[in-house]
Amino acid sequence: MSLSETALPFDDIRNLVKSMPGPDEEALAKVRERDSQLTKPGGSLGRLEEIAEWLAAWSGKAPPVITRPMVAIFASAHGVAEEGVSAFPSAVNKQMVENFAAGGAAINQICRVNDIGLKVFDLAVDMPTPSITREDAMDEANCAATMAYGMEALAGGIDLICLGEMGIGNTTVAAAVFHGLFGGNAADWIGRGTGVDDEGLERKRAAVEKAVARLNGEKDPLEILRRTGGREIAAMAGLIIAARLQRVPVIVDGFVTTAAAAVVYAMDPAGLDHCLFAHVSAEHAHARVLEHMGKDALFDFGMRLGEGSGAALAAGFVKVAAETHSGMATFADAGVSEKS
């Protein structure tokens, strides 16, 4: 999927969003019909039944099937991290990319247990974007190119994509995106992230406030993204759009990945219907933004790691939902009496 060289870069993105397809109603109807015949009381599997319907609607497959799920981790670096908004130094970015490659991170273990592929995309972790308190994170061309790069993560027949990220300082950047998109005060959108103390939390609040003040009232979601966001957020926003166009269901992880989803939501509130939100992050503002967008997460385990860890856990539930729906016998197949 490529962007044209004739229009302004963001015009291409806007046109892609306008062309996003709706659900496959035929596949959805087939799943509902089969579900009514399975050897169980109707509705007895709760959200597993909803997930099976969601998979069919957005993949176009009935019964739903998952053969190649993948977690895509986008790693980036942020100049605002040097302003004391994180408990960890920026050197951790490269170190964690190496840890992912060596199989030593939490996400490696979750993917291994759930038989999910993992790919890490290094978005120049040695070259941080400028501090959003003073400069725009990206210009329009670079932001659009980064979104296009994220779109390419679907290459190779992926049929379920889980969003993941890693970048010291990116909860500050995500908070700025939320503040720019949804208003309120800077304090509404910040949390302790990697574990900052009270002084670090105040620096974080001030950084978000300065970054959004620089927007000067700008409300265009893509402009807010390029000016206050980061490369990983841009890449994930592009991936969400591409997944819709290619009928690949998406699982959104936590606080930072939801910032990418929020950009798409602000462009089109129906633009996230192919997305499942995995969990409620321990970052308190995550629940706030999910409520704002009318989204219900699958679970709340008090997690705030990132890396796609919550999304990979949720992918296990999604695989179970697909296998349960497709593998169960119908009343007729099993010779079981139906409800009278």
In Å, how far are 207, 211, 263 from 186, measured between CA atoms? 9, 10, 18
Instruction: With beta carbons less than 8 A apart as the criterion, state whether 237 and 153 touch.
Output: no
> Quick one: residue 193, left, alpha or beta (phi over 0 = left, psi -120 to 50 = alpha)?
left
User: What count of residues does the chain have?
Assistant: 340
Catalytic residue among 98, 218, 307, 323: 307
Tokens of 170: 């990116």
Cα(238)–Cα(303) distance, integer angstroms: 25
Instruction: With beta carbons less than 8 A apart as the criterion, state whether 66 and 159 touch.
Output: yes
307 noted as active-site residue = yes
Tokens of 136: 């725009």
Instruction: With beta carbons less than 8 A apart as the criterion, state whether 203 and 171 touch.
Output: no
Instruction: With beta carbons less than 8 A apart as the criterion, state whether 263 and 102 touch.
Output: no
Which residues are known catalytic residues?
Answer: 307
